[in-house]
Structure 1
Amino acid sequence: MDKVLFLYSTREGQTKKILKHIAEQLDNCECDFSDIHDMPDIDFSCYEKVLVGASIRYGHLHKKLYQFISQNYQALKNTKAAFVCVNLTARKENEGKDTPEGSVYIRTFLKKSQWQPPLIGVFAGALRYPRYRLFDKFMIQFIMKITGGETDISKEVEYTNWDKVKLFSDDFKKM
């Protein structure tokens, strides 16, 4: 049985939820999950594949993601490893914002990171107004107003395209 490691950097949990959905698509695999923010010490040789998932907040990936990549660059480079970016901009599928080529966040990631994953997924996340702190609630509402998104702060909206996640899962299996 293959072992697969899922590493995540998430704010409200949607990135981890997406990774768990991908794990459910894998046949005959033992899946381990670890929060990058805990800066885990990992023996990558125990795993057949690795999937790193991270979310965007205020236009940026968390700095701990870059620290983790820097500390584990050789292991990631020498392992079948892929990357997933979760953000609200990816809800604009008709504009191509849900593709590695159309995502400004992926372009920035690839410039800032020495790790250049061979497989990258970009998925829309979830808007969880009731879970946000007051400052975040109003800042995200402002951003959503500018970008034509949901502004009702009583709502939670999941924009994730689960069919697209399934297609990525199929590509990840083939790695």
Structure 2
Amino acid sequence: MTKALLMYSSREGQTKKIVEYIAEQLSGMDCDIVDLHQNAEQIDLQAYDKVLIGASIRYGKLNKKLYRYIEDNVAQLEKLNAAFFCVNLTARKEEQGKDTPQGSAYIKTFLRKSPWQPSLIGVFAGALYYPRYNPFDRFMIKLIMTMTGGETDTSKEVEYTNWEKVAIFASKFSQQ
């Protein structure tokens, strides 16, 4: 049986939710799900046939710990032909191509900054969880959404994730 490691870096939980959904799609694989920020450095990547890393964007950036993990494990990630996906609110603009590796400014920045150049990359829209945010984050995210034409009602939680697109990515990952 193929053994897969699905790692995530998430602030509000949407990236973790996407990783869990991908694991459900990978029937026939033994999947371990690990928070990149908790004991990831103790994981033996050689114990896995496949590795997937998912990370969310917060205020335009990926978490610095993600880059450190990649730098420390780049040789193994390349050997395993590991895959990567990014979760951000800009990807909700599918009609503008913001949900593709070619159209995502975040992926372009990731590929420029990262020593690892994954062959399979996904870009998924995240979710707005206004009621869960602290006052500063709620204000800042509302400001960003106002500037980008998004939801500004701070009483709402809105999920933008295109689950069909996630399922297609999971299928590609399983065949990789």
Q: CA deviation at 1:39?
A: 4.7
Q: Is the 8 A contact 1:89 1:97 kept in 2?
A: yes
Counterparts of 1:21 and 1:33, CA distance in 2: 11
Please, which moves more after superposition, 39-48 or 80-89? 39-48
With normalisation by structure 1, the TM-score equals 0.98
Q: In the alignment, residue 37 of structure 2 is paired with which amino acid?
A: H
Counterparts of 1:71 and 1:18, CA distance in 2: 25
Structure 2: which 5+ residue stretches go unaligned? none
Q: CA deviation at 1:77?
A: 1.1
With normalisation by structure 2, the TM-score equals 0.97
Say what the alpha-carbon RMSD is for the aligned residues: 0.8
Counterparts of 1:145 and 1:80, CA distance in 2: 39
Corresponding position of 2:57: 56
Q: CA deviation at 1:36?
A: 1.2
Q: CA deviation at 1:28?
A: 1.1
Deviations 1:41-80 (A, max 9, x none): 2211111100000000000001010011011111111113
**Identity among equivalent pairs (%):** 63
Structure 1: which 5+ residue stretches go unaligned? none
Counterparts of 2:69 and 2:30, CA distance in 1: 23
Moved over 2 A (4+): none
Counterparts of 1:71 and 1:45, CA distance in 2: 14
The aligned runs of 1:106-145 (5 Å cut-off) are 106-145=107-146
The aligned runs of 1:1-175 (5 Å cut-off) are 1-40=1-40, 41-175=42-176
